[in-house]
Amino acid sequence: MKFAESLTAVVATATVSSAFSPKKMQEIRNRAAATNNQTGPQLLGDLATLSAESLTPTGKAIRGILLKQDAGHDIGGQTAATSNGSSKDVCGIWKPIADDMAQAMAGPDRQCNDVARAAIRLGFHDAGAWSMGTASTGGGADGSIVLARECETREENNGLQDICSRMRAWFDKYKQHDISMADLIQMGANVGTVVCPLGPRVRSFVGRKDNNQPGPENLLPGPDQSAEQLITMFADKTISPQGLVALVGSHSAARQRFVERNRTGDTLDSTPGIWDTRFYDEVVDSKTAARVFKLQSDVSLSQDPRTKDVWSSYVGAQAQESFIKDYASEYVRLSLLGVNNINDLTECTQVLPPFIASLNSVPSAAFQGNQTSRRVEPVPGGGALRNNSCDGL
């Protein structure tokens, strides 16, 4: 995969800056990975049992991402097609689908809107309802959140009803082209991410199988859970504490709607239309604007000894490149939970909208008390957690 050599991003960031140099940040992440994941990253689905010799180009590409040997993002649109046959034939229909989604998810201010936030959250909720302990009962990225009407019947999916209706409409429009709801949901999450300025172009794969039976329950995170509970839950999804902290960064574009009803619509950082690192800053900054809503689960992760250093490594504008790199890698993993035909998938990253490398932005008026604009260092390449009570996680 080839990436643009130099991209400059301009984004509003909090006055808090990271105390770590890029080299130090990488040392922290490496140390956290070694401490928290002694066995190393795990393979998923059929890749866990197939020999290297039997892997397709797609299987090899995904194996590389899961094992941290290849990037999970592409900012230059240069991702090579990887499939068993003609990627052009398989991916052709996904270009108009992605374009339809992007049109609905980008606001007039060229930032991601509430449709994008909901699509990102939907991707997390469909894929995240899986664990190693319950794998035999199904779940994961199988479309069941829409097909089995889990949007309407499970409290943890409160607020997803409108995006589920949109997904049904898109599915009805394109189903004659043999797409799956599972793929449609994950493509929507990745389109929703990249239409946010600075949001990564997460590598996107199609070919998942649908399941119209409800998946296992009680496998999604809650807004008041402790770091211990979250770390344990995500370990059972093959996601390390470091990976969890990266995924939580999707809260950069999130709003809360049901945690505190008297603050419905409050955002989790002061630039909710931009995929920046301000979220990490503002969770730990005691001077964060009052209108920024802090989830107790996020505060707990920012303070726990197992995740505190990794959290701090994402604080500050200079951490943008590391954040999007790590988020994309972890989201590829999340988007393949419960998928048992990974070797047969096709990569269609090329249909995504382009990476938006820069934006001149300041926080909206409600947040301007403690904020200044700061330049983000050049992003040479690239590389959520969704909270069940927030749009965007």
- 271 appears as a binding residue in the annotation: yes
**CA 181 centroid distance within chain:** 18
User: How far is it, in rounded angstroms, from Cα 194 to Cα 106?
Assistant: 10
**CA 187 centroid distance within chain:** 11
User: How far is it, in rounded angstroms, from Cα 36 to Cα 244?
Assistant: 11
- 76 appears as a binding residue in the annotation: no
- 309 appears as a binding residue in the annotation: no
| Residues paired with residue 256 on neighbouring β-strands, in sequence order | 390
- 144 appears as a binding residue in the annotation: yes
The amino acid at 42: Q
Given a contact cutoff of 8 angstroms between Cβ atoms, the answer to whether 361 and 12 are in contact is yes
Q: How many CB atoms lie within 10 A of CB 159?
A: 20
- 142 appears as a binding residue in the annotation: yes
- 276 appears as a binding residue in the annotation: yes
* Residue 5 token pair: 């050599």
Per the residue annotation, which of 29, 63, 121, 125 is the catalytic one? 125
Q: Between 320-335 and 114-128, two packed helices, what is the crossing angle to 10 degrees? A: 50
Nearest C-alpha neighbor of 184 from the set 142, 221, 148:
142
- Alpha helices, DSSP H only, in the chain? 22-36, 57-66, 87-91, 94-105, 114-128, 144-147, 150-153, 161-174, 181-194, 227-235, 241-248, 278-284, 296-303, 308-313, 320-335
* Residue 204 token pair: 């996107």
- 252 appears as a binding residue in the annotation: yes
Task: Give buried/exposed letters for 73-104 (b at 16+ CB in 10 A, else e).
Answer: bbbbeebebbbeeebeebbebbeebbebbbeb
177 belongs to the catalytic site? no
Residue 24 sits at the vertex; the CA angle it makes with 18 and 27, to the nearest 5 degrees, is 130
- Residue 12 phi, psi (nearest 5): -75, 135
- DSSP strand pairing (9-14 vs 205-206): unpaired
* Binding-site residues: 126, 140, 142, 144, 251-252, 269, 271, 276
Binding region for heme b: 251
Binding site for Ca(2+), by residue number, is 126, 140, 142, 144, 252, 269, 271, 276
Catalytic center residues: 125
